Amino acid sequence: MPPKARGGGKKGPPPPPYTEADVAEFRAVTGCDSDAAAKRSLASTRGNLSEAVLRYLDVHAAVPKPTHGDDKAETVARRQANLHEAKRPRVEAAEGTGADGTASAPFAFDLSGLVGTPRPDEHGWVTSMTQELEAEAETVDATVGWARTIEALEAAADGRRRFEDASFPPDASSIDGGRADKESESVPCCRCGARAKIKSVHKDGPNHGRWFYACGNQPANAWAARAMAAKRVPTPTCGFFKWADDAPSSESSKAMRWRRFEPPRFRLTRGTASGAPKFAPSDVRQGAVGDCWLLSALAVVAERQDLVARVVGPAAKCPAATRRGAFLMRLFLAGRWRGVAVDPCLPVSGRSTKVLAGANKVGARSNDEYALAYSRAADNQLWVPLVEKAYAKSHGSYHAISGGWIAEGLLDLTGCPTETIRLDASGFKSEEAWRKLLSYAAAKFPMGCATQGDPSHREVGLVGNHAYSVMEVRELHGASVGRQTKLTSFVAKERVEDVDAAAGGGGPPLRLLRIRNPWGRKEWSGEWGAGSEVWTSKLGAELGHTRVDDGTFWMSWHDFLCRFTVVDVCKAHEGWHAISVQAVSAENDPAFEVEVAPDRGASSSSSWAYAMSLQPNKRGLCSERFWYADVGIAVYRKGESKTQGPTWTPVTGRLGARERVAQVELMFEVGVTYLVRFFSFTGFKAGPPPILRLYSARPLRVRPMRTPNLIPNLAPALHSMLLPSSSPAPNVQEGTRRGGSSDSDIKRRLLPLCGGALVVCRCRGGAFVLGVSASPRGSPPLRVWLRIRSGRVGGMSALHQHPPPPAPGTVHEGPIPGASLHEIPAGRCRVLALALALSPSDTCSHALEIATEQVCDCRAKLKGIGDRRAGAGDEDEVAVVDLDETETETEEEEEEETDAGEEEKEEEGDDEVEIIGEVKPKPKEDASTLFEELGLPPPPPGATDEAIARMLADALAVAAARGARDERRGEDDSPDDSSDGDVEVVGEVASTASERRQKKRAEELARPATAPPARLAQVFAHLPVPEAFRREVSAMRGSRCSGGAQT
C-alpha cells in the first residue's frame, strides 16, 4: 500500500446533495421563509427536490398496489410531483377525492351541540355566560348558515364546488372601497382645469373618513405640502370642493391581481400531534396595508390558544371547509360577536400594489404568482390573511383598516376590556408601571406597544408611528451580562459583570421585555438587541435569544421608556363571564339593573367586574353621518327607604369623551342591586343606542330599566367624580391628582376665592368649572362673575353656562364683558359651566379661556389679605393664571400687579386652560430636590439608594424622550413614511384658506357660552360640599371670608 501523501490525511466536508437552484425552487414552491430550513429538508431527502416538497407540505399521493415487479418505476413516477403544478392550487381529481388524490372524508358537523343566546326570565333578567359559550351563542346563526353552505357544496354535482363570496368580490371595490364599475374619466375637473384629486376628511366629526374632490394642483400629501411651504414654493389652488361619495376606485386598485389559495400547497393552520390546530405569534407577517395595529394585536392573541381559536372558529377543525374554501371567522364588532364568512381568494403583490403608510414595503418574492400583497403567515398558512380579510370585509375594504390603535384591535379580537398606559404622561411612575406589566404578563394578558414618529428611531432599527407586540416581560435576579469593552478583553476572554445585589454585585434586578415587529423583520439594534455584546451563553439559553432577524428582539426597560410611548393591555381573564345588552331606547339616559347571579348549590360571593359602554365603530362608515357621543358611566347602589321609594347612592363612574369605548372597574357584592347608567352631555344622536357589556369573574344578571322616572339624579354622581371625598395630597394646588373617576385622570386646579374656590376639572372629554363655598351655614353666599370661551378653533363642540351670559348687544353691568353672575350658598357647590371637546385628549388638556371676578363685601374692609388686592372703586384688576399641568403654584412668592389688557393673550396651538381672575400666578420656586423638579412624588420611606437611583434614571429617561419629541414636533416627516396614493389627508396650504381659518378663529373666540338644554338642567344643581374637600378649601390661603358670620 503506497504511503499517504503529506498534508492529505484530512479531507474536507462532502459537497451537499443539492444546488442553490434547488434551494430557490424549494422556497418558491413551499413558501419556506429561510434557506436553512430549505437546506435541511433537501438534505433529509439527499437532494430529491420532489420528495422534499412532498414531505414539507405533508402531501402523499395515493399509491396503487403494484401487480408485478415492472410497476415499480410507474409507482415512483406517480409519486414524483410536478414542481410547476405544485405552484398552482390543485383541483379535485374526481368525485369523492380530495385535492391530493386521497379520498375526502364526508362532511360531518354537529349542529346539535350549538347553544343560543340566553333568554330573559319571567322578571326580565338575563344571565351572563362564559366567554367561549358567548362567542358560539352569538354566532350560532352564522355557523348554521356556513355549515349548510359546505354541505350543499359537498353534495353538488354540477361542478360548482367552491365557495365564492359575492359580498366581498375580488375587485377594486374590496381594495379601496370605491366604485369598481366607474371609469377614472368620471372624476370632475377643478376650476383650474386639472383633474380633481380625491382626498379624505381627517378631522374628527360626522364626516371623518369621507371622500371629497379637491383642487388638482394641491400637493400630493401632507408631507409634500409642508416641504413646499418650507421651500416657499407657491401652490396656487382654486379651492374646488365636492363630496366624492360615489368616486371610482383608483387605477392601482383596479390593476390589483387576485388568486385563490387552495390545498395542497396552502392550508388553514398547522396541526399538533393530536390533530388540534396550532397557532403561533411568529406566523404573523404584515403586508402592504398599514394594519400593524391589528396584526400586532393578533400576534399577542395567538399566544393564547383559547383566544385565537375563538376567532378562527370551527373552520380549523373542519377539513371540508378547506376543501371548499369556506371559512367562518368570528370578530367582536358593535358590541357583539359576529360570524364573517370569507373565501381564500386574496390579493397578490405586483407592480400595481400600493403600499400604504406604516405598511411593510418588503413583501414576498416577486417571481411567485402567489406572493400575498397583504398579510401572510409562515409555512403557507392562511389563518392570518383570512382573519385580515374578514376584518376588511366587515369595514368595507382593505384600505379602511389602514391606521388604528392596538387597543381597538385587541377589543375586536377578544371582546375583553383594555387598558392604556401612557409612558409619556405627566406624573408617570415607572415603578408602578413596571409592576403592572409584570402582573399582566403573569396573568397572560395580551399586550401591545407603539412608537411615535421620531426620525431617530431608524438609527436603532425601530419604526416610527408603528405598533409592536409585547411578547414577554421578565425581571431577573442574579443574572450576569457580558461587557466586551476592549480588544484585549476580546482576545483574552469575555469579561462578565454581576448586576444583581443577590449575587454580590449590588446592582438592581435586570428588567427586560421581548418585543415583536409584525413585519417579521427590522429589529432593535441597541443594547440587548440581536447583536448586542451584553448577551452571555447562559442568559441567551434562558431567554431563547437568537441572532435571526425575525422581528423579535429584547430590550431593557430603560430603553423601552425612551423609545415607546404607549402600552395597550387586553384584560382577558381565563374563565370569566360576559354578556352584552342593548339599551331599550336612547331618548333618555339608558340604565340597567345588575346583580350577582345566584349560584345553585353553592355559596355566592362578590364578583370583580368591568362595565363597558360600546358604540358602533365609525371605521368604514364614512358615508354615514354620525360621530361618537361622549358617553359616561355612573354606577349606583340601591338602598331601601321606609318613607319613599328606593334610594340610589353613587359608587363609581367614568366621565365620557367622544370615543367608542368607556369603561369602569368595580366590585359587585352579593345581594345588592346596582344601577349602571349611561349619560351624555352632547346627547345621544340618531342611530343605535350604546350597548352595555359586563365582563366579570362570576355570572351576573342584568335587565334594562324601563321606568325613566326612577332613574336617580345625575348631579350627585357627577360631583363624586369631580370632587373626591378624600385627598391624597396635602395641598391640592400643587400639581394634579387622580380620583373620583375610575381608570380616568381628572386634573384639578383651584383658584382661591374669598370664602371658597373656583375648581377647574379637566378630563379627556372636556372641562368643568365648579364653584365651591367653604363657608359655614349662615355665611353670605359666594358670588362670582364668570366667562368661558374656547381658546382654539374646533377644540370645543359645545360651551354651556348656567345662568348664561347676556346676549350680544344687551347692556352689561358686570366687570367682565360677556360674563354672568353666579351665586353659591354657603357650604354648597355646583357646576357653573362645562366645555365639551370635539375629540378626546389623552393629556386632559383643552384650549379654554376662563375669566372670573369675585363680588364680596369684605373686600372694602380688608386690604392686603394674603394674596388678595383691595378693590378700588369700580376698577377691577385681573391677571392670567396658566393652568398647564407642568406648572405648580407656591405660596411664598409675592404677586405683581398687572393690567388685564396687558395680560390677556391668545395661544394659537397650546392645549391649556387660562383663568383670567384676581389671582396672579406665582413664579415656580426652585426645586429643593430632583424629585420635585421632575414632578415625582417623594420616595417611599426606607427606600434604598439603588431604588432611588433607578427611579430617577427612569424619570430622567422619560423626561429626555419627551423633550426630544417636543423639539422635533412640527418637523417634516420622511417621505418613506407617508402615503403617496389617491386617498389623502385634508391639508390647506393656500393663503385664502389661512385667511378663512383666521376669520373662523376670531368668530369662535368671540362666541359666548350658551344656556344648557333642558335635559342638562339637573347637572347644575346645588349639592353639599364633601367635608374633606371643604377642609382643603378652607385651609387654602386667601379662601376665608371676613364678611358675615365668620372672619
pLDDT in tens, 334-383: 899 999 999 999 998 877 677 777 777 655 445 667 888 898 898 889 99
Quick check: 683 and 1015 in contact, CB under 8 A? yes
Dihedral sign of CA atoms 95, 99, 105, 109 in order: negative
Share of the chain above pLDDT 70, in %: 67
Mean pLDDT confidence for 202-225: 78
Orientation of helix 131-138 relative to helix 140-155, angle to 10°: 60
Q: 349 - beta bridge partners?
A: none
> What is the third-level CATH fold of 418-570?
Cathepsin B; Chain A (3.90.70)
Task: Report the C-alpha gap between 621 and 138 in whole angstroms.
Answer: 23
Is position 731 annotated as part of the catalytic site? no
From the candidates 208, 457, 466, 577, which is the catalytic residue?
466
From the candidates 32, 215, 292, 345, which is the catalytic residue?
292
Quick check: 890 and 920 in contact, CB under 8 A? no
Task: Report the C-alpha gap between 876 and 872 in whole angstroms.
Answer: 7
Quick check: 694 and 128 in contact, CB under 8 A? yes
Task: Report the C-alpha gap between 984 and 967 in whole angstroms.
Answer: 26
User: For the chain, how many helices (H) and strands (E)?
Assistant: 25, 42
**Predicted confidence band at 725 (pLDDT cuts at 50, 70, 90)?**
low
* Surface-to-core class of residue 610, CB atoms within 10 Å of its CB (0-12 exposed, 13-18 middle, 19+ buried): buried
R_g over Cα of the chain: 33
What DSSP assignment string belongs to 533-545?
Answer: TT--HHHHHHHT-
Q: Residue 770 CA to chain centroid, in angstroms?
A: 32
Phi then psi for residue 937, to 5 deg, are: -70, 155
Mean pLDDT confidence for 286-296: 89
Q: Which among 39, 121, 85 has a CA at the least distance from the CA of 262?
A: 85
Is position 763 annotated as part of the catalytic site? no
| 229-243, 249-263, 708-722, 739-753, range with the lowest pLDDT | 739-753
Task: Report the C-alpha gap between 645 and 961 in whole angstroms.
Answer: 56
Top pLDDT among 915 and 644 is at 644
Position 930, amino acid: L
Quick check: 877 and 897 in contact, CB under 8 A? yes
Position 875, amino acid: E
Dihedral sign of CA atoms 183, 185, 191, 192 in order: positive
| 162-171, 560-569, 579-588, 830-839, range with the lowest pLDDT | 579-588
**Predicted confidence band at 771 (pLDDT cuts at 50, 70, 90)?**
very high
The confidence score (pLDDT) of residue 85 equals 41
User: Fold match between 20-86 and 418-570?
Assistant: no
> What is the third-level CATH fold of 20-86?
Helicase, Ruva Protein; domain 3 (1.10.8)
899 CB neighbour count, 10 Å cutoff: 10
From the candidates 207, 360, 517, 617, which is the catalytic residue?
517
Position 607, amino acid: S
Asked if the model's pLDDT at residue 831 lies above 80, the reply is yes
Quick check: 837 and 792 in contact, CB under 8 A? no
Top pLDDT among 896 and 968 is at 968
Highest mean pLDDT among 82-86, 788-792, 809-813, 911-915: 788-792
Angle (CA) 396-401-405 rounded to 5° is 140
User: What 8-state DSSP symbol labels residue 103?
Assistant: B
Position 126, amino acid: V
Q: Which among 61, 57, 65, 63 has a CA at the least distance from the CA of 98?
A: 61
**Predicted confidence band at 26 (pLDDT cuts at 50, 70, 90)?**
confident
Q: Which among 333, 331, 328 has a CA at the least distance from the CA of 343?
A: 328
Quick check: 774 and 829 in contact, CB under 8 A? no
Which residues have CB under 8 Å from 767's CB, separation 6+? 760, 761, 834, 835, 837, 846, 848, 913
Asked if the model's pLDDT at residue 980 lies above 50, the reply is no
**Predicted confidence band at 475 (pLDDT cuts at 50, 70, 90)?**
very high
Element (H, E) at 127: strand 126-127
Pairing mode, strands 913-917 and 848-855: parallel
Share of the chain above pLDDT 90, in %: 24
**Predicted confidence band at 629 (pLDDT cuts at 50, 70, 90)?**
confident
Task: Report the C-alpha gap between 964 and 975 in whole angstroms.
Answer: 21
Domain limits, the chain: 20-86, 126-170+254-414, 181-248, 418-570, 577-712, 723-884+907-924+1000-1035
Q: Which CATH number fits domain 577-712: 2.60.120.1090, 1.10.3720.10, 2.60.120.10, 3.40.50.1000?
A: 2.60.120.1090
Top pLDDT among 960 and 80 is at 960
Helices assigned H by DSSP within 877-1021: 900-903, 930-933, 945-968, 991-1006
The confidence score (pLDDT) of residue 503 equals 41
Asked if the model's pLDDT at residue 1043 lies above 90, the reply is no
The confidence score (pLDDT) of residue 211 equals 87
Quick check: 1029 and 772 in contact, CB under 8 A? yes
Asked if the model's pLDDT at residue 403 lies above 80, the reply is yes
The confidence score (pLDDT) of residue 743 equals 37
Pairing mode, strands 129-130 and 566-570: unpaired
Chain-wide mean pLDDT for the chain? 75
Is position 517 annotated as part of the catalytic site? yes
Q: What is the pTM of this model?
A: 0.77
Highest mean pLDDT among 281-290, 387-396, 1023-1032: 387-396
The 3-state secondary structure of 494-526 reads: CCEEECCHHHCCCCCCEEEEEEECCCCCCCCCC
Residue 407, SS3 per DSSP? helix
Placement of cell 437532494 in the chain: 47
The confidence score (pLDDT) of residue 532 equals 85
61 CB neighbour count, 10 Å cutoff: 16
User: What 8-state DSSP symbol labels residue 790?
Assistant: E
Position 492, amino acid: A
